[in-house]
Amino acid sequence: QSVLTQPPSASGTPGQRVTISCSGSSSNIGGNLVNWYQQLPGTAPKLLIYSNNQRPSGVPDRFSGSKSGTSASLAISGLQSEDEADYYCAAWDDNLKGVFGGGTKLTVL
Amino acid sequence: EVQLLESGGGLVQPGGSLRLSCAASGFTFSSHAMSWVRQAPGKGLEWVSAISGSGDYTYYADSVKGPFTISRDNSKNTLYLQMNSLRTDDTAVYYCAKGPPSVTIFGVVIPLPMDVWGQGTTVTVSS
C-alpha cells in the first residue's frame, strides 16, 4: 500500500492529452514539493518533473505538472508511442521519509 | 557527465547481510544528498533511505529502519547501504540516486528530487 495514490493504468491514442493523478495528505503533497518520474521498460527511473511543475533540461514541454492542495497531476499532451512507460509521483513526507505513488502504467493505443 | 554505478548485489540467504556500494562521478559528491530506492520484481518504486552531503543526517523507511544503515565516504565519492537481517521481501533491484545540494531547513535536509539514477543492482534473498 503506497502512501501516495495513483491510478494503476491510463491510456490514450497518439496525439491525445492524458493526465495522471496523485493523491496524498497534508504531511507530504500538502506541505512539500512533488516530483514525477518516468520509467521505460527495463530501465532506471528518470526525473520528469520536479518542484511541482518544473522540467529538467531535455524533457519535452509536452510534459507538465501541477499541484493543488494534497493532490498533484501529470499531463502529457501530444501523446507519442515512446511515452508508453510507468509514471511515479514522489514527495517528501514530514515524518522524515520519501514517499512514492504506486505507479501508473501508461499505454499508447 | 554525472554517473552512478551500483555494485554489491547478489544472492543471500534469509537472515544474511550484504553491503551495497554506489560509486559517483561527474559532480561534487560531498555537496549532495543521496538516496537508495528499491523496486521488487513487478512492483513499484519504494524509497529506502537517504543521507545528507556531510553524512550528518540520515533517514530511513519504516520497513528497513534498524537492519539497514546508510553511509558515505566523501573521500572516495562512494555511497553505501549495509543491509542486515535480510528477509525475502527485501528482494529487489536497488538504485542509488543523486539528490539536490544539501540545505538544512529547520533541522532537516530534504533529499528530493532525485535527478540522476544508477542502473541498479539486484539483491535476491532466498534459501
- What would the pLDDT profile of B95-121 be if each residue is shown by its tens digit? 999 999 888 888 888 899 999 999 999
| Least Cα separation, residue B112 to chain A (angstroms) | 7
Task: Give the residue among B5, B10, B2, B62 at the shortest CA–CA distance from B29.
Answer: B2
Interface test with A, best of B4, B36, B47 (most A CBs within 10 A): B47
| Least Cα separation, residue A105 to chain B (angstroms) | 10
Query: For residues B36 and B70, is the Cβ–Cβ distance under 8 A?
Result: yes
| Least Cα separation, residue A25 to chain B (angstroms) | 17
The better pLDDT of the pair B15, B109 is held by B15
Contacts of B62 in chain A (CB under 8 A): 97
The span from the CA of B111 to the CA of A11, in Å, is 32
Contact B111 A92 (CB under 8 A): yes
At residue B38, does pLDDT exceed 90? yes
Query: For residues A35 and A44, is the Cβ–Cβ distance under 8 A?
Result: no
Neighbour tally for A58: CB within 10 Å: 6
Contact A100 B62 (CB under 8 A): no
Contact B45 A51 (CB under 8 A): no
Residues 54-93 of B with CB under 8 A from A: 59-62
Please identify every stretch of chain A with a pLDDT value under 70, giving residue numbers as ranges: none
- Give the mean model confidence (pLDDT) for residues B29-56: 97
Q: In this predicted structure, what is the pLDDT of residue B104? A: 84
Q: In this predicted structure, what is the pLDDT of residue B107? A: 85
Question: C-alpha dihedral over A92, A97, A98, A100, to 10 degrees?
Answer: -110
Please report which confidence band the pLDDT of residue B8 belongs to, taking 50, 70 and 90 as the band edges. very high
Q: What is the mean pLDDT of chain B?
A: 96
Report the residue from A92, A98, A103 with minimal CB separation from B44: A103
Task: Give the residue among A68, B116, A66 at the shortest CA–CA distance from A76.
Answer: A66
Report how many Cβ contacts below 8 Å link chain A to chain B.
Answer: 64
Please report which confidence band the pLDDT of residue B73 belongs to, taking 50, 70 and 90 as the band edges. very high
- pLDDT tens string A35-57: 999 999 999 999 999 999 999 99
